[in-house]
Amino acid sequence: MRIIEERRSLLVPIVMVLFFFNTCHLQVMSCPMQTTNCTDQDRKLLEFPLNLEYLEAEFFLFGALGFGLDTVAPSLTMGGPSPIGAQIANLDRLTRDIVLQFAWQEVGHLRAIKKTVKGFARPLLDLSKKSFAKVMDDAFGRKFVPPFDPYANSYNYLIASYLVPYVGLTGYVGANPKLHCPASRKVTKLNYSLLAVNIISSSNQKFWVSM
């Protein structure tokens, strides 16, 4: 039963990634560990969350500011392609300030992970209205008319914002128990710190959506 639950916790972020990432550009690189007894699975699990952190950082930065990592922290992109369809959202002042705090938080996550593992260039992200509309249509089992637009107003953006960190949250929950080698344990501590922040972010977003 536990094995099934762990597989499900990893399946959710993988399925969601297929909606927002050009899978030809989805990255998993080997991390620069000195020890040789780490499995290939460990290496992949340590860097896979970078895909999700790139997604969160770009979505929140563009939503609040109208520009992303290429402007605020170009070195973190490592020359990767700019996201498709990302734009500034029509947010009220309070929501914009909250989203901006989320954005700086995700930039910090990227920096923290890249201090621990080698990392890779930003993958090609599809943050267009069309991409989010497809996710919502599939989630509710029917086509929205008009299509869901996360950038249209504060309420829509917060709904979309709740979806995005959930991808990272379930990814960390699924990956952490599978890291076993000594060099991975140091990174596990980092992952649990980021997991705690994702839980707080998710709770905050649920609070603002319910208001």
For the domain covering 2-27+36-210, report its CATH number.
Answer: 1.20.1260.10
Q: Where residue 25 falls among pLDDT bands split at 50, 70, 90?
A: very low
DSSP of 24-86, one letter per residue?
TT--------S-S---HHHHHHHHTHHHHHHHHHHHHHHHHHS--HHHH-HHHHTTPPPPBS-
CA angle 56, 62, 64 (to 5 degrees): 100
- Strand, helix or coil at 126? strand
Name the DSSP letter for residue 21: B
Would you call 14 helix, strand, or coil by DSSP? helix
The average pLDDT across 181-205 equals 54
Instruction: Give residue 127's pLDDT.
Output: 96
Q: How far is CA 38 from CA 30, 31, 64, 193, in A?
A: 11, 10, 40, 22
pLDDT at residue number 171: 65
Q: Is 29:99 a contact under the CB 8 Å cutoff? A: no
- pLDDT for res 163: 77
* pLDDT higher than 70, residue 70: yes
What whole-number distance in Å separates Cα of residue 133 and Cα of residue 128? Answer: 9
For residues 198 and 129, what is the distance between their CA atoms, to the nearest angstrom?
Answer: 24
Instruction: Find where tokens 């086509």 sit.
Output: 143
2-11, 26-35, 153-162: which is most confident: 153-162
How far separated are the first and last CA of the chain, in Å rounded? 37
Instruction: Kindly report, residue by residue over 132-179, the tens digit of the pLDDT.
Output: 999 999 989 999 999 999 999 999 998 898 877 666 666 666 666 776
- Please report how the helices 93-116 and 154-175 are oriented relative to each other, as an axis angle in degrees rounded to 10: 20
Q: Which of 167, 146, 166 is nearest to 156 (CA)?
A: 146
pLDDT per position as a tens digit, 103-128:
998 898 898 878 777 789 999 999 99
Q: What's the pLDDT at 118?
A: 79
